[in-house]
Amino acid sequence: MPVDAEDDLPEQIRVRREKRQRLLDSGQDAYPVSVPRTHTIAQVRAAHPDLEPDTATGETVSVAGRVIFVRNTGKLCFATLRAGEGTEIQAMLSLDKVGEERLAAWKADVDLGDHVSVTGEVITSRRGELSILADSWVLAAKTLRPLPVEHKPLAEETRVRQRYVDLIVRPQAREVARLRIRTVASLRESFAARDYVEVETPMLQTMHGGASARPFVTHSNAFDIDLFLRIAPELFLKRCVVGGIDRVFEINRNFRNEGADSTHSPEFAMLEFYEAYADYRDMARTTRELIQEATLAVHGSLVFERIDGETRDFSGEWDEVYVYPSVSEAVGREITPETPVEVLRELVEAVGIKPEKTWVPGKYVEELLEHHVVSTFVRPTFVMDYPEDTSPLVRAHRTQPGVVEKWDLYIDGAEQGTGYSELVDPVIQRDRLVAQSLLKAGGDVEAMQVDEDFLRALEFGMPPSGGVGVGIDRLLMNLTGLNIRETILFPLVKPE
């Protein structure tokens, strides 16, 4: 080991390395393959819920945990051991029980952060703290880096970059890590109860489609072709419906090569589900039920307090508003799919938004909607019946020309999901995708490609169907009040 490199280490890391070496030199193992462990800390706590102070149980156990506090006195040492899930128990090491040599070794060798195994009687201290009075102890794993201060919050960046440390010291980090999968498990249970089939469709795609977004591009050496990381599973799930998987869902990652901020991550978890013989209203109801069931699974109530202390109410039926009427009301004049684009442009510019030349008329309407209407919805709200020209995969409204059967679900002013009566006419679908590809040729990097295989699938006949996409990260954000980086265990960050 180069001496110079050692000298450059911070003092506390150097000291811990020396302790490790000292243990090895004396024939002890700093990282034994196994240590005594008869019970988890949680099991010991559960078995002795309310002992009186200064009680001896006569029961001997071996527990293991990370040392997070030490209170070493001359002949009686105390330590708090913490299990991975956060349960804690006190270890007591006395001169009588472990002997002079092992007590001295404890004081000299054990640092905050080390994993240790302690064997001894379950007792309570005179102050009533549930403890293991050690007959023996052994190091389970030496920690070479000092833990951060327990009682000062870690800097947000350190929490994100070193989530392992965050998980050790911050209860909420442990809680959120489990919350995500509890939410996803609830969704899967809800789908199972509705006879849905879960599938996994390609992440690596030769065409990108199903959403308007810039894809990540990668390369297959075997095929010598460029591939796209998927921006959405939509076109494959529809192939499933064509093939007769009438109720199908997928929960998996999408990748979009776009900005990252407190509400957007380049990779994010997405739920999409499709149901034959359902329309967008059926899908809205199912979506509400899924989210309500997940809310119950996480919070136990549809009226709940988030981690940030705010209260939200997801109970009952959810509000429905309509795009053109609500925009009309907001701008003080009637807006319809026939409203000339010049009028829309004036209204958009009047609120300080700069139109781009690729915008179609419906885009202006959506901008007005977002600016005037949507941010006011705290309670979950379905915004229904969108412009046709911004939704190339949606079926035309059954009675209103220029409008499609689509809703967006807004919670707390942010889009939580979207649902359609799906477009299943292969001829109209082809026209829409060709129009998209022309936009793409004109420089719109988010426009879709003409996916011939998808069109061929539709030509085999897709039953009338409803489809929904729900952002899982967004759902967690809405259930907790956290930003997106807190809901993702290891969010993408630039290298240090």
Partner RNA sequence: GCGCCGCUAGCUCAAUUGGCAGAGCAGCGGACUCUUAAUCCGCGGGUUGUAGGUUCAAGUCCUACGCGGCGUACCA
Residues 254-293 that bind RNA (CB under 7 A): 256, 258-259, 261-266, 268
**Smallest distance from the beta carbon of 315 to RNA, in angstroms?**
23
Name which position in 166, 388, 422, 473 contacts RNA (CB under 7 A).
473
Range 351-356, long-range pairs (CB < 8 A, 24+ positions): none
Residue with tokens 């707390």: 412
Task: Give residue 55's identity as a one-letter amino acid code.
Answer: T
Tell me the sheet residues that pair with 204.
229
Q: Which stretch binds RNA (CB under 7 A): 134-142, 143-151, 175-183, 243-251?
A: 143-151
Q: Pick from 1, 3, 33, 149 the residue near RNA by CB under 7 A.
A: 149
- Contacts of residue 357, defined as CB under 8 A and 6 or more positions apart, other chains included, come to none
The first and second tokens of residue 284, run together, are 């809205």
80 binding RNA? (CB under 7 A): yes
The reply to whether 471 sits near RNA by the rule CB under 7 A is: yes
Residues in 358-387 that interact with RNA by CB under 7 A: 367
Regarding 496 and contact with RNA (CB under 7 A), the answer is yes
Residue 94 touches RNA, criterion: CB under 7 A: yes
- Contact status: 481 vs RNA (CB under 7 A): no
217-220 β-sheet, strand order = 204-205, 225-229, 217-220
Min. distance of Cβ 352 from RNA in angstroms? 7
Per-residue interface string for the shown chain with RNA, residues 401-420, x marking contact by CB under 7 A:
-------------xx--x--
Determine which helix (DSSP H) or strand (DSSP E) holds 234, and give its type and residue range: helix 234-242
Q: Is 239 helix (H, G, I), strand (E, B) or coil?
A: helix
User: Does 171 participate in binding RNA (rule CB under 7 A)?
Assistant: no
Among 83, 95, 138, 360, binds RNA (CB under 7 A): 95
Q: Which of 51, 83, 112, 296 binds RNA (CB under 7 A)?
A: 112
Q: What is the CA radius of gyration of the chain?
A: 30
- The size of the interface with RNA (CB under 7 A), counted in residues, is 74
CA distances to 252, 331, 360, 444 from 356, in Å: 33, 21, 9, 11
> What are 401's two structure tokens?
């020309």
Whether 31 and 142 have beta carbons less than 8 Å apart is answered as yes
Please name the amino acid found at residue 287: T
398 binding RNA? (CB under 7 A): no
Residue 316: count of CB within 10 angstroms of its CB: 11
Distance of CA 175 to the CA centre of its chain: 12
Residue of 58, 126, 225, 308 that binds RNA (CB under 7 A):
126
Exposed / middle / buried, residue 436 (Cβ in 10 Å: 0-12, 13-18, 19+): buried
Q: How many CB atoms lie within 10 A of CB 258?
A: 15
Cβ-based neighbours of 352, under 8 Å, separated by 6 or more:
none
Considering only residues 31, 46, 75, 459, which one is a binding residue for RNA as defined by CB under 7 A? 75
- Rounded CA gap, 407 and 214, in Å? 23
Rounded to 5 degrees, what are φ and ψ at 22? -60, -40
Stretch binding RNA (CB under 7 A), from 21-29, 326-334, 419-427, 487-495: 487-495
Residue placing its CB nearer to RNA in the complex, 88 or 246: 88
> What residues numbered 11-30 form the site for RNA, per CB under 7 A?
11-13, 15, 19
Considering the rule CB under 7 A, would residue 219 count as an interface residue with RNA? no
Nearest CB to RNA, comparing residues 124 and 286: 124
Instruction: Return the residues of window 298-357 that contact RNA according to CB under 7 A.
Output: 353
Q: Output the smallest distance, CB 273 to RNA, in A.
A: 16
Scanning 30-38, 126-134, 181-189, 237-245 for contacts with RNA by CB under 7 A, the matching segment is 126-134
Residue 100 structure tokens = 């002079």
Nearer to RNA (CB atom), residue 377 or residue 457: 377
220 lies in the site for RNA, by CB under 7 A: no
Cβ proximity to RNA: between 125 and 336 the closer is 125
Instruction: Give the phi and the psi of residue 136 in degrees, each rounded to 5.
Output: -155, 160
Among 21, 32, 46, 150, binds RNA (CB under 7 A): 150
Sign of CA dihedral 194, 199, 204, 209: negative
From the CB of 303, what's the least distance to RNA, in Å? Answer: 24
State in angstroms the smallest separation of the CB of 195 from RNA.
27
Least distance in Å: CB of 61 to RNA?
Answer: 17
Residue 114 binding RNA, by CB under 7 A: no
Query: For residue 471, what are the β-bridge partners?
Result: 270
Retrieve residue 240's tokens: 């499933």
Contacts of 244 (CB under 8 A, 6+ apart): none
Angle 381-386-391 (CA atoms, 0-180°, nearest 5)? 120
Q: Is 427 in the site for RNA (CB under 7 A)?
A: no
Least distance in angstroms from the C-beta of 420 to RNA? 13
Position among 115, 142, 208, 474 found at the interface with RNA (CB under 7 A): 474
CB of 82 to RNA, least distance (A): 12
Is 145 a binder of RNA (CB under 7 A)? Answer: yes
Site for RNA in 42-71 (CB under 7 A): 54, 69-71
